[in-house]
Amino acid sequence: MSETSVVESRLREAGIVLPGAAAPVANYVGAVRSGRSLTVSGQLCLDGEGRLVARGRLGEHISPQEGREAAKACAINLLAQVKHAAGSLDRVVRVVRLGGFINAVPDFVDLPAVMNGASDLMVLAFGDAGRHARSTIGVASLPLGAAVEVEGLFEVDGDA
């Protein structure tokens, strides 16, 4: 029986249980480790059952609050990939960067508030080590019609 990590315990206290890492749907891998850097491919806003949390465009079909929840779902999936690649979330030294892609109508300007759903989860999970650099970009469409996709760069300890 494996021990639950400190970070996963913190997430569980907040009602969050990580799903398994999603398998890639095309010719890429979920994460690549190079030295202490772990780059995680963009994760869609899928729930633990593999269903989209939010489908459509912010400012048209999706409210900002629904967008925040979608970004949080993406971040949960990012952490599942990190756990799979690193073996434990406790090996994360720092969340270096998140990149957010928000499926939005051209005049939707609340992109940063939507992306806070992912950023807030990283700070919840890792404390100050979860504070990160970030880009948030509005896009015309995302795979499967998802409302949000988030990618990440993490620093992890130990050997590759």
Domain for residue 62, yes or no?
yes
Domain for residue 23, yes or no?
no
Domain for residue 143, yes or no?
yes
- Which pLDDT belongs to residue 3? 63
- CA–CA separation, 69 and 33 (whole Å): 28
pLDDT in tens, 34-86: 999 999 999 999 999 999 999 999 999 899 999 999 999 999 999 999 999 99
Tell me the average pLDDT across 104-121: 97
Tokens 């569980």 locate to: 12
Expressed as residue numbers, the domain containing 51 is 6-18+29-156
Task: State the total domains in the chain.
Answer: 1
Tokens 């465009």 locate to: 57
92 bridge partner residues: 156
Domain for residue 24, yes or no?
no
CB atoms within 10 A of CB 109: 10
From 3-7, 18-22, 23-27, the region with the lowest mean pLDDT: 3-7
3 state DSSP class of 88: coil
From 1-5, 10-14, 111-115, 120-124, the region with the lowest mean pLDDT: 1-5
Domain for residue 57, yes or no?
yes
pLDDT in tens, 13-23: 999 999 999 98
Domain for residue 59, yes or no?
yes
124 burial via Cβ count (<10 Å: 0-12, 13-18, 19+): middle
Which CATH number is 39's domain given?
A: 3.30.1330.40
Cα torsion at 135, 140, 146, 149 (round to 10°)?
A: -20
Domain for residue 126, yes or no?
yes
User: Does the structure show a pLDDT above 50 at 1?
Assistant: no
Domain for residue 1, yes or no?
no
